[in-house]
Amino acid sequence: MRQTSGAPSAAAEACLVTFDTNRLDRMKSRVRDGEHKRFRTDTVPEVLSECDREGLSWPRRAARLIGRICEAEGQHPVIESDDRIVFLRTIRTVPPIYEPQTWSQLTKDRTLHELGPISNICADWGMVLSQGLEGRRQAAAKARESIQDDPDSLEFLDCAIETIDAVLALANSYAQEARRLGRNDLADTLAHVPAQRPRCFYEALQALRILHAVVWMGGHYHVGLGRFDQYMWPYLQQDLDSGRLTLAAAEELLAEFFISLNKDSDLYPGVQQGDNGQSLMLGGSSREGADAVNELTWMAIRVAHYTNMIDPKINLRITPHADLSLLTLATELTRKGLGFPQYSNDAVVIPALVEHGYELEDARDYAVAACWEFLIPGKGMEVVNIGAVSMPAAVDAGIRKGLGQGENFEQICQRIAEDIRQQLQQVVDAYRKLFLPPAPYYSVLMDGCLERARDLAHGLKYNNFGVHGAGSANAVDALAAVRRFVFEDKSVQPQELLAALEANFEGYEPLRRKLAEDGPKVGNNDAAADALMTKLFEWFADACEAIQDNGRGGRVRPGTGSAMYYVWLARGKEGMREPTVGATAEGRKKGEFLSANLAPSNNAPIRGPISVLQSFAKIPYRRVFNGGPITMELSGSVFSDAEAVGKVAMLVRTFAQLGCQQLQLNTVNLETLLDAKKHPEKHKNLIVRVWGWSGYFCELGPEYQDHVIARHLYAM
């Protein structure tokens, strides 16, 4: 598409919501300016010394942490005069529960997932809301009655109850403060939720705000929001039906809730700010298989369009028969340049989950983890991103060793399949020693943990690992170039290619350009390239399926994402298990970024988005089902008028009709990005999609800024 400079058209700025936005406009700008940070304190409650003094076990320490931090927050409730949905974290950090030496002793010879605490999963928010914390407390008490001679289970339940009481006390402190301020409605609400089942949509939102924030306060992160339009709908439906809420009033409440999710983002750990996994899923089907799109699905998209902030990150489940008017509304959100909604195709995802042991009703209930991996809320203690297999490294090693020893193409392929298997084995072996610390509060929010008296850390119904096959387009293009030029038309001598790779193409520019421009490329619906892509993913799936047990009673799910690996696998990263690759046979020089997720190689000549979809539709998604989106950059000028927006909606429907799995559409203008790099002060609010998440461009590290810019050089 053409690049044009210029702001979005007036139509793009049209407000889709119907409420009077004055109050929330002010709230939004306060949050963006960080005014609420004045309430933050560096004083952190001391938990460690009492834990050591009392000689507490790990589960008891985890519960004590929740207790102390809720208690401390309860001493400083923050209720601003125009807040209707309250709670703000004031304590910046999560206090330690072990001395560093003790921590290293306890975790010696064990693999921790990323930072350690359980992350990147999704609670069963619907269950917790409908039971209320009191209901959960009763479930724990009931389980306790039937247990004898099982101190671990008893301890777990006691810990869970301790955290429930801590959260109830926190809500009570806020209620008292509300009462003191004369905010009786708010006080009544907080006296009722999250203890009991919410009586209305407003109470459900307030309950969720607290329940969700406390998960973060315990040191967990990438705390997903699940199928929001499903579990919230009964509350909203009842209010709309009874006339208690107008649509406009409901939108306003929802907008306030969405804004509240942006308040604590500076406290979230992540590779880059914005990488916080507050993913929210919309649409799809009910557990019984009926179309589950409802008024709240539409409302959430309209409200996200209004709030125009990086959280929550909207996902939309669609089918090949998706309603074009819903997709058009969703495209209006894409047009905002937030990098979402991200789409997933139920027609592809659900059958694949079922084929891999998920019960049909559960599969129909899928949401996504922080970025894109499919998981079942409340039922999955899945570690969906334990690492990556570097597809480019596997292909490159196969090419260099194979050509060096005069092997034929088939032998090179065998090497690649074996390399993929070994890389996978290495990642999975490391995770056989995975240790997940106890998580009593998070367990309260999960399906059956209290009922079975088992901590979430011991697993849930689904306990798989996910591994991504990263940089696939580069890998395929390299292999396709070798097949075409070395083995088919024999226009390139093996030794010449090896020397060129070794020299990082210095002195081999004509050869490099031939490889980069004339070879078959993924993304052009080119049978030669796409067949090799299918092979590569089949080898990857073979390797994953060969692992019978991941050590936690689960299997290994192959995926198609890259996350930060498009940078790390190309440039290296301290402590990374995955191999770094040098110059590669698709004409890529050492250090140049790999393609992100499923996207053509950055410099590949591509006809356009339809061919890209046709290419990636050929991936065997029944076997490669961890997730990882086709990633497309659209220039902002694409969305010039309503007709064009409608065509983008058709493109999204085409994605589903062709049988692709997941799609991420990003919008931005190259000129804007270049200017933002030069004049960050002028682009404070510029949001870009980075991998599975969106962040403020000016808050990204320079290498990530450069990659986003590089992607847009090839925007369609």
Partner 1 sequence: MKSGVVFDIREFALHDGPGIRTSVFLKGCPLRCSWCHNPEGWIRDPQIIHGQAGDRLIGKDYTSEELAALLNEQADILRANEGGVTFSGGEPLEQAEFVTEVCDRLDNLHIVFDTSGDGTETALRLVAGKVDLFYYDLKLIDSTAHKHFTGGDNALILSNLRVLSSLGASFVIRVPLVPGVTDTDENLKAIAETVRNLPGLVRVDLLPYNRAAGGKYSNLGLKFRPLYDEQRELRVNAEPFEKHRVPVRIAAPDMAIRKPVPA
Amino acid, single-letter form, for residue 362: D
Q: Which is nearer to partner 1, 8 or 579 (CB)?
A: 8
Whether the CB-CB separation of 448 and 460 falls below 8 Å is answered with: yes
Q: How far is the CB of 519 from partner 1 (least distance, A)?
A: 15
> 172, 426, 534, 614: which one contacts partner 1 (CB under 8 A)?
614
Q: How far is the CB of 658 from partner 1 (least distance, A)?
A: 8
> 130, 172, 308, 657: which one contacts partner 1 (CB under 8 A)?
657
> CB under 8 A: which stretch of 5-13, 105-113, 141-149, 695-703 binds partner 1?
5-13
Q: What is the DSSP letter of 96?
A: P
Q: Which is nearer to partner 1, 85 or 663 (CB)?
A: 663
R_g over Cα of the chain: 26
Residue-wise DSSP of 504-515: TTTT-HHHHHHH
Amino acid, single-letter form, for residue 591: G
Q: How far is the CB of 320 from partner 1 (least distance, A)?
A: 10
Neighbour tally for 614: CB within 10 Å: 17
What does the per-residue mask of binding to partner 1 show for 634-653, with x meaning CB under 8 A?
A: ---xx-xx-xx--x--xx-x
> 15, 141, 181, 610: which one contacts partner 1 (CB under 8 A)?
610
Q: Would you call 649 helix, strand, or coil by DSSP?
A: helix
> 6, 34, 404, 553: which one contacts partner 1 (CB under 8 A)?
6
Q: Which is nearer to partner 1, 329 or 690 (CB)?
A: 329
> 4, 29, 43, 93: which one contacts partner 1 (CB under 8 A)?
4
Q: What angle do CA 690, 694, 697 make, to 5 degrees?
A: 70
CA 639 vs CA 410, 636, 668, 673: distances in Å: 46, 6, 11, 18
Any contact of residue 12 with partner 1 (CB under 8 A)?
Answer: no
CA 252 to chain centre: 26
Q: Which residues of 29-48 are buried (b: 16+ CB within 10 A; e: fewer)?
A: eebeeeebeeebeeeebebb
> CB under 8 A: which stretch of 263-271, 479-487, 490-498, 606-614 binds partner 1?
606-614
CA 689 vs CA 103, 542, 545, 696: distances in Å: 36, 32, 32, 9
Q: Which of residues 382-441 bind partner 1 (CB under 8 A)?
A: none
> CB under 8 A: which stretch of 127-135, 258-266, 567-575, 610-618 binds partner 1?
610-618
Any contact of residue 666 with partner 1 (CB under 8 A)?
Answer: no
What does the per-residue mask of binding to partner 1 show for 515-544, with x meaning CB under 8 A?
A: --x-------x-------------------
Quote the CA–CA distance of 57 and 38 in Å, as a whole number: 36
Q: Please count the residues of this chain forming the interface with partner 1, following the rule CB under 8 A.
A: 33
- N- to C-terminal Cα distance for the chain? 5
What does the per-residue mask of binding to partner 1 show for 584-603, with x meaning CB under 8 A?
A: -------------------x
Q: How far is the CB of 656 from partner 1 (least distance, A)?
A: 12
CA-wise closest residue to 167 among 459, 445, 448: 445
Handedness of CA 160, 165, 166, 170 (dihedral sign): positive
Work out whether strand 374-375 and strand 367-368 pair parallel, antiparallel, or are unpaired: antiparallel
> 2, 38, 53, 108: which one contacts partner 1 (CB under 8 A)?
2
CA 648 to chain centre: 23
> 132, 471, 559, 609: which one contacts partner 1 (CB under 8 A)?
609
Q: Which is nearer to partner 1, 30 or 647 (CB)?
A: 647
CA 69 vs CA 37, 163, 170, 219: distances in Å: 18, 10, 9, 11
Any contact of residue 106 with partner 1 (CB under 8 A)?
Answer: no
Q: How far is the CB of 517 from partner 1 (least distance, A)?
A: 8
CA 232 vs CA 79, 313, 619: distances in Å: 24, 17, 35
CA-wise closest residue to 276 among 347, 215, 185: 215
Any contact of residue 513 with partner 1 (CB under 8 A)?
Answer: yes
Q: How far is the CB of 349 from partner 1 (least distance, A)?
A: 21
Any contact of residue 658 with partner 1 (CB under 8 A)?
Answer: yes
Helices (H), ranges, 374-505:
391-404, 409-432, 440-444, 449-452, 472-481, 494-502
Q: Which is nearer to partner 1, 566 or 655 (CB)?
A: 655
- State the greatest distance between any 2 C-alpha atoms of the chain, in Å, as a whole number: 83
What does the per-residue mask of binding to partner 1 show for 450-489, with x meaning CB under 8 A?
A: ----------------------------------------
Q: Which is nearer to partner 1, 5 or 184 (CB)?
A: 5
Quote the CA–CA distance of 491 and 488 in Å, as a whole number: 8
Q: Which is nearer to partner 1, 42 or 643 (CB)?
A: 643
Contacts to partner 1 by CB under 8 A: 1-7, 9, 509, 513, 517, 525, 603, 607-611, 614, 637-638, 640-641, 643-644, 647, 650-651, 653-654, 657-658, 716
